[in-house]
Structure 1
Amino acid sequence: MTPIELARAAWLGGDALRRRRLRFKRYTFGDQWGDMVLTNTDETMSELELLRRTGHHPTTCNMILPAVTAIVGHYRQKVLEKTNSASETAPAAMSGLETDCSTLQEFLISGCAIQRLSVENRDGTVRTWADMVSPARFFIDQAATVLPSHTRLIGRLHDMPLMHVLLKFAHGNRRKASRLRDIFDKEVPFPVMPGGVSHGIGQSFNDTIEFDKPSLPGTMRVVELWTLECGESTRCLDPDTGVVQEFPHDDDSLIRRNNRRRRKGQAPLQRRWSLLPKWRCRYITASGTVLDEFYADSHPFVFAFYPAIDGEI
């Protein structure tokens, strides 16, 4: 399977979880008569509409939202009580607290808590940031929902405007920026209107999300895919110092190092072939074009699911 096919298969595997999450979200925020039902005349309508047609006037006594709000508020208060130093009350720290509170709220509603870590300069200093990831845009292999250490595939969906695409993937290369602009023009069939009026402000753009199409106008769907792969490496032992180092398997500099050591009368490095797990990241368009890729020691996601039994969330 191609990388985009792997991502799509994992995305489709989470369809039932995403549909349950939307139902739980509706119930939490008061839409508790919105389930679709089939009538005796084979019509499909919401429970609310069916009850109204039969002369009933359903009411809602929402006991879910106050409980969720109380738990999140209690968490926020406990964290603030433990905050004493001025550095901990900095705007960045408060932003991190609100991100954690939003993640906790999501966990209480859907049983999913997902954040993405990144090292960036957002406020004049380079540090680690944690951003909340909506379960509506997240996908993962099934084994990881039971044991996170078994994760082999993980990723999320992005809606990126042209400026974001160029800043993130051009890497200071003008020719590559031109290529990215051409890809963007092909992937986004309608013109981008700078300063145009936004539609649906305050409405969710995750409820009807599709894998191949962006949810925001003037953006391109970019799939961030991380896969665990096995790569070759060479482990070298320095017999003089006892230090063990890891080198890429195709590193020709090891031969030159050993030649220099022999000329100096030193014992050569003892080499041993081995396999090393590595995470491979790809940013891919919906049509399968790879915008950027690289290797890393781990994926950047932190997640937790609330398992009931047999891995069910």
Structure 2
Amino acid sequence: MAGNKKDKILRMSRVRPKNDEQYDSIAYSKFHNGSRRAFDVLMEAQGYWSNMDRFRRERKRNMNYTFGKQWSDIICVDGKQMTEEDYIKEQGNIPLVNNHIHRLVKQVLGVYRSQAKEPTCVARDREEQKLGETMSTVLQYNMQLNQNQEMNARTMEEFLISGFAVQRKWYGWQNDMLDVWTDYVNPNKFFIDSNMRDFRGWDASMVGEVHDITFNHLCGCFAESPEDVKNFRRIYSFAHNRGILRTYGEQFGYSRLENIDFLFTSDPTLCRVIEVWRKETKPRYRCHDYNNGDVYKIEIEDYDEMVEEVNNDRIQRGLAQGMAEEEIPLIQATWFMDNYWYFYYLSPFGDILREGETPYEHKSHPYVFKAYPFIDGEIHSFVADVIDQQRYTNRLITMYDWIMKSSAKGVLMFPEGSEPDGMSMEDIADEWSRSNGVIFFKPKPGVPIPQQLANNCTNIGIVELLNLQLKFFEEISGVNGALQGKPGYAGTSAAKYNQETQNATLSLLDILESYSAFVRDGAYKDVKNIQQFYDTKRVFNISGRTGVQIVYDPKKIRDVMFDLSIIESTSTPAYRQMANDILMQLWQAQAISTEQLLQHGDFPFGDDLLQSLQSQKEQLEQGKTPDGLPQELLQQVQQGANMGAVNTAYNAIMGRGRAAA
């Protein structure tokens, strides 16, 4: 028996976790679950993915109605399921569509683009407002780098169709550049905690995304050694073979996927990677340093070094200075259970490709999402509100077409016994339905000849019902004729027409401002990532804005708290014209110089003229002869007369620059 031998003594940490590890969710799962811990995360994520199945189906339906597939709803006829389009075709008719939803979506997008708003940083400390202007410029540079104007417009279109917008804010390599990036996230491949009820998303405990990437992309993102590449070849044994013919790809411009699976991709030549961000818990200390007012968190193992030793040192120095012990400001540490974001990159087979605590200083996940309106956790998109009107409009148009076809042909009354030789009633009906059909027969005495009964049945109120539904489109969506750009009725004043346009914009204000909150949340994470990862001095130039060149100093901006607001963009023609008018008034009042006018104004010739003035100024300062000076001043400059002549020459340059401006 084994009792005759001395049992091997195991360490207590291997037998059961330490007391603190019982409260650390990561340490606890590593100890108890081992290799199963990845499957536990996958199963929880798959549960939330499955809970979004109804949302994905509703999004698909809204997408179909937006882009013209408006007879794709499934119906049951005599126990057989089919689409409405197939049913109409079985009846020998054509399913007609008059798409009004797409027009409404484009009009709301036009209103959004016409606002031309952009995020702007404002420092909470007014003494640091200059740094806020610097951060605003850097943020605008990053928005231009990511083409945010186009991305936000397409995300707004998604927001109108599905009622849910998602973007991903991250830092890393892309397009051979190491920078802060913004990616669009397809809601079909996104999942989130279904128990979330806060419309700000603050109570979410899990978010994630399903990625289908090539094997080369997988190695570029996760491989840190040749052994990792070998391991990935083992995990994705099929996808790494580039010799396999890719016959599973989607047709360009068309979506093929009807049902997306969570664990497996429909294209086996791609690698399925599941990104999961989950709230984890562990014990930590929350510290309040009364000496400087800082509040921060520390790990349990750092308590002795960062609290006890510091407090003992302060007590000794305070007593040496003659202070009473109760007057010495110490660090107060309180034990608490910390909830923090932890990420997993998983394969469908239970492999953890990478994991760790959030690397971002904003201490959150990289996703920004917005659901509308999300009252009691429900999503009701802009498109979903007008689907019933669109369906009824299509039904009326199709019915009108049926009635016109039947009334144009009429009903044939063919007496029994008058059939021509060799033709049945079915043959006669088939020939009658032809546009050029001819039926030959010999009339019989006493038998009436065939006759057609036709009646005009088109004027039965369909036109009135159709106009009523089109009116409902405007009433329900809030996009009335004035906002659509339709001309006003005869006798409508310009003031009334403008008021109607403004009222229509007010009806869309809620959804537009809700999306602005989404843009503001994304800009907040961009600012935090810029503060964290822009760790060297950089010079930024904003294209399209004359004279905008700033120097970003991370030492000054890193710890500044910024507030973000959405304001009118400074790139609009109306804003530039207003700014130029104000600058011209200041210049005419001699409150600013010509150089300041050209630096801050937006003139077609501003860059060239400013460069010319600065070049002449540098030549004068170096004692050289600048081009374009009057001859009498050139002689004095060449003789190196006195600085008064130099100043006179400089004033002449400024005067010529003012005249040119």
Common fold by TM > 0.5: yes
Map of 1:74 onto structure 2: 111
Change (3 A) 1:236 1:78: closer
- In 2, Cα distance between equivalents of 1:123 and 1:256: 45
With structure 2 as the length reference, what TM-score do the two structures score? 0.42
Report if the CA contact (8 A) 1:136-1:206 is conserved.
Answer: no
> Per-residue displacement from partner, 1:92-150 (whole Å, max 9, x unpaired)?
35721111111100111111111111123436664432211111111111232543111
SS of corresponding position for 1:37: strand
With structure 1 as the length reference, what TM-score do the two structures score? 0.84
Map of 1:92 onto structure 2: 144
- The residue type paired with residue 62 of structure 1 is N
- In 2, Cα distance between equivalents of 1:254 and 1:209: 51
2:57 paired residue among 1, 19, 23: 19
Report if the CA contact (8 A) 1:38-1:45 is conserved.
Answer: yes
Q: CA deviation at 1:174?
A: 3.1
> Per-residue displacement from partner, 1:12-32 (whole Å, max 9, x unpaired)?
000011001101101110001
1:193 paired residue among 243, 257, 260: 243
Q: CA deviation at 1:255?
A: 8.0
SS of corresponding position for 1:66: helix
- In 1, Cα distance between equivalents of 2:293 and 2:147: 46
> Per-residue displacement from partner, 1:48-97 (whole Å, max 9, x unpaired)?
11111112222100001111122223323432899xx9x95898357211
1:300 paired residue among 366, 372, 392: 366
Query: 2:178 aligned with 1:129, yes or no?
Result: no
Change (3 A) 1:163 1:260: farther
Q: Tell me which protein shows more helix as a share of its residues.
A: 2
Map of 1:62 onto structure 2: 99
SS of corresponding position for 1:57: coil
Change (3 A) 1:308 1:227: closer
Map of 2:413 onto structure 1: none
- The residue type paired with residue 103 of structure 1 is T
- In 2, Cα distance between equivalents of 1:199 and 1:111: 25
Map residues 233-252 of structure 1 onto 2, 5 A cutoff: 233-236=284-287, 244-251=295-302
- In 2, Cα distance between equivalents of 1:239 and 1:306: 43
Query: 2:350 aligned with 1:288, yes or no?
Result: yes
- In 2, Cα distance between equivalents of 1:129 and 1:47: 43
> Per-residue displacement from partner, 1:273-292 (whole Å, max 9, x unpaired)?
22222101101111222111
Deviates more, 1:156-165 or 1:190-199: 190-199
- The residue type paired with residue 254 of structure 2 is Q
Change (3 A) 1:256 1:312: closer
- In 1, Cα distance between equivalents of 2:75 and 2:219: 47
Map of 1:2 onto structure 2: 40
SS of corresponding position for 1:142: coil
Change (3 A) 1:199 1:264: same
2:278 paired residue among 227, 243, 253: 227
Change (3 A) 1:239 1:201: closer
Map of 2:169 onto structure 1: 117
Change (3 A) 1:195 1:79: farther
Report if the CA contact (8 A) 2:288-2:331 is conserved.
Answer: yes
Report if the CA contact (8 A) 1:166-1:181 is conserved.
Answer: no
- The residue type paired with residue 209 of structure 1 is I
SS of corresponding position for 1:73: helix
Map of 2:262 onto structure 1: 211
Aligned residues: 307
Q: Aligned-residue CA RMSD in angstroms? A: 3.4
Map of 2:219 onto structure 1: 166
- The residue type paired with residue 365 of structure 2 is H
1:32 paired residue among 66, 70, 86: 70
Report if the CA contact (8 A) 2:71-2:83 is conserved.
Answer: yes
Map of 2:210 onto structure 1: 157
Q: CA deviation at 1:257?
A: 7.2
- The residue type paired with residue 156 of structure 1 is E
Q: Which runs of 5+ in 2 are unaligned?
A: 1-38, 120-136, 319-329, 380-661
> Per-residue displacement from partner, 1:222-248 (whole Å, max 9, x unpaired)?
111111122211245567666554221
Map of 1:276 onto structure 2: 338
- In 2, Cα distance between equivalents of 1:90 and 1:226: 25
- The residue type paired with residue 364 of structure 2 is S
Q: CA deviation at 1:177?
A: 3.3
- In 2, Cα distance between equivalents of 1:232 and 1:30: 55
Report if the CA contact (8 A) 1:136-1:207 is conserved.
Answer: no
- In 1, Cα distance between equivalents of 2:354 and 2:339: 20
> Per-residue displacement from partner, 1:259-309 (whole Å, max 9, x unpaired)?
995699458965432222210110111122211111122111111111365
Change (3 A) 1:230 1:295: same
- In 2, Cα distance between equivalents of 1:66 and 1:232: 55
Q: CA deviation at 1:310?
A: 3.2
Change (3 A) 1:48 1:255: closer
- In 2, Cα distance between equivalents of 1:189 and 1:195: 11
- In 2, Cα distance between equivalents of 1:309 and 1:256: 45
- The residue type paired with residue 66 of structure 2 is T
SS of corresponding position for 1:62: coil
- In 2, Cα distance between equivalents of 1:260 and 1:12: 52
SS of corresponding position for 2:285: strand
Map of 1:311 onto structure 2: 377
Report if the CA contact (8 A) 2:206-2:277 is conserved.
Answer: yes
Map of 1:202 onto structure 2: 253
Q: Tell me which protein shows more strand as a share of its residues.
A: 1
Q: Percent identity?
A: 29
Change (3 A) 1:236 1:302: closer
Map of 2:90 onto structure 1: 53
- In 2, Cα distance between equivalents of 1:271 and 1:89: 41
1:176 paired residue among 216, 228, 236: 228
- In 1, Cα distance between equivalents of 2:118 and 2:308: 57
- In 2, Cα distance between equivalents of 1:263 and 1:150: 40
Report if the CA contact (8 A) 1:137-1:206 is conserved.
Answer: no
- In 2, Cα distance between equivalents of 1:149 and 1:90: 26
